[in-house]
Amino acid sequence: MKANFLRLVAAAAIAGAASGAAPTSVAGGRWGGPYVLIEVSGSGASIQFDCAHGSILGPIRLDSDGRFDVAGDYAPEHGGPIRVGEGEKRRPARYSGRLIGRTMTLSVVLGDDETIGPFTVEHGREGRIVRCR
């Protein structure tokens, strides 16, 4: 059921692009590139970085220029084993970027002074993740 929904979302986005109409949201499915893999659905996205992971907490809607700025969270990871009692340290984050055709740029802003990225990903591609050591 979920796979069919994602195919419909992707088909609608591609059909809109073929007709010349600008898409209004990021197409569902995999978006990958160096150091990042994003799994987009109609309700948000899960993101895997080399040494962190995060979530986008709602649909990724685009403005008329293909830009987005959405709320999410970000959790840094570390190499080695997870220690007993060590909890995940999720932080609020803003995910912003721009979609041009099948290519998306993405940056993560944590607080007022820390930006991670930009990353460049393509729809339908696998991410090239190097797990932290």
Q: What is the 3-state secondary structure (H, E, C) of the chain?
A: CHHHHHHHHHHHHHHHHHCCCCCCECCCEEEEEECEEEEEECCEEEEEECCEEEEECCCCECCCCCEEEEEEEEEECCCCCCCCCCCCCCEEEEEEEEEECCEEEEEEEECCCEEEEEEEEEECCCCECCCCC
Domain that includes residue 60, residue range: 2-123
Report the chain's C-alpha Rg in angstroms. Answer: 15
Residue 129 lies in a domain: no
Residue 11 lies in a domain: yes
Residue 132 lies in a domain: no
Residue-level pLDDT at 130: 85
What is the domain count for the chain?
1
Residue 128 lies in a domain: no
pLDDT at 23 over 80: no
pTM of structure: 0.77
pLDDT in tens, 2-18: 554 444 444 444 444 44
Residue 131 lies in a domain: no
pLDDT in tens, 27-58: 899 999 999 999 999 899 999 999 999 999 89
**Per-residue pLDDT band at 20 (split at 50, 70, 90):** low
Residue 133 lies in a domain: no
Tokens of residue 31, six digits: 């978006």
Residue 79 lies in a domain: yes
**Per-residue pLDDT band at 132 (split at 50, 70, 90):** confident
pLDDT in tens, 60-116: 999 999 999 999 999 998 776 666 766 778 889 999 999 999 999 999 999 878 999
Residue-level pLDDT at 44: 93
Residue 63 lies in a domain: yes
